[in-house]
């Protein structure tokens, strides 16, 4: 029972914490007037938190790792080791145009699995992706790659993260 409890709870701890963070950041802005402006602020706040967590994780864990031979090598590391550690599964598909654009597709993104695929949830999706965009940007930044990371959901709980270096 120990092992099972522990395995399930590892995922859940992060998921619940993430929900709390999103809820808290949005709640503290809920009373203000300019809703569209506040939406941007909340997304930035969550993205910045993700950025710092991504930096911290990579900093601590690539100390003893081999150096990477190129950008694609870094991206593969993110899709495999980094993603598995945080989200308990690897990225399902990695594509690139070899000009700095990458598409990381997760067919069952852990932070979206609790939502159904209704349209109202699709509109809410960006706030559950911002932290993770920051995670990727922070990790890349600490590996020497400055990037802009966007995300897109077409059908829940599948989504794409698109770092542009």
**Closest separation in Å from C-beta 45 to its own copies:** 7
| Half-sphere exposure of residue 55: CA atoms within 13 angstroms, side-chain side | 13
Q: Alpha carbon 72 to chain centroid distance? A: 18
The reply to whether 72 sits near its own copies by the rule CB under 8 A is no
Examine residue 81 and tell whether it contacts its own copies (CB under 8 A): yes
Q: How far is CA 130 from CA 5, 19, 39, in A?
A: 29, 12, 11
Contact stretch for its own copies (CB under 8 A) within 53-61, 96-104, 117-125, 142-150 = 53-61
With tokens 């300019």, the residue in question is 34
5 belongs to the binding site for its own copies (CB under 8 A): yes
* Contact mark string toward its own copies, 110..149, x via CB under 8 A: ----------------------------------------
Residue 94 sits at φ, ψ, to 5 deg, of -120, 125
Rule CB under 8 A: choose which of 44, 84, 93, 113 binds its own copies.
84
Closest CA to 56 of 126, 129, 134: 134
DSSP-derived secondary structure letter, 105: E
Instruction: List the 102-106 sheet strands across, edge first.
Output: 93-96, 102-106, 159-164, 148-152
Is the Cβ of residue 67 or residue 99 nearer to its own copies in the bound state?
Answer: 67
Q: Residue 40, interface with its own copies (CB under 8 A)?
A: no
Binding site for its own copies (CB under 8 A): 1-2, 5-6, 8-10, 12-14, 16-18, 20-21, 24-25, 28, 45, 49, 52-53, 56-57, 60-61, 65, 81, 84-86
């Amino acid at each position: 029972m120990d092992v099972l409890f522990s395995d399930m709870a590892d995922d859940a701890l992060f998921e619940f914490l993430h929900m709390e963070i999103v809820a808290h950041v949005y709640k503290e802005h809920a009373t203000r007037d300019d809703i569209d402006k506040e939406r941007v602020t909340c997304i930035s706040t969550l993205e910045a938190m993700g950025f710092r967590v991504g930096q911290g994780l990579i900093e601590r864990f690539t100390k003893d790792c081999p150096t990477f031979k190129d950008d694609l090598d870094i991206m593969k590391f993110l899709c495999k080791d980094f993603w598995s550690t945080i989200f308990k599964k690897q990225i399902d598909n990695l594509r690139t145009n070899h000009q700095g654009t990458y598409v990381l597709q997760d067919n069952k993104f852990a932070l979206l699995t609790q939502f159904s695929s209704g349209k109202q949830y699709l509109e809410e999706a960006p706030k559950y992706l911002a932290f993770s965009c920051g995670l990727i940007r922070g990790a890349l930044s600490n590996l020497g790659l400055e990037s802009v990371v966007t995300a897109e959901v077409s059908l829940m709980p599948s989504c794409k993260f698109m770092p542009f270096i």
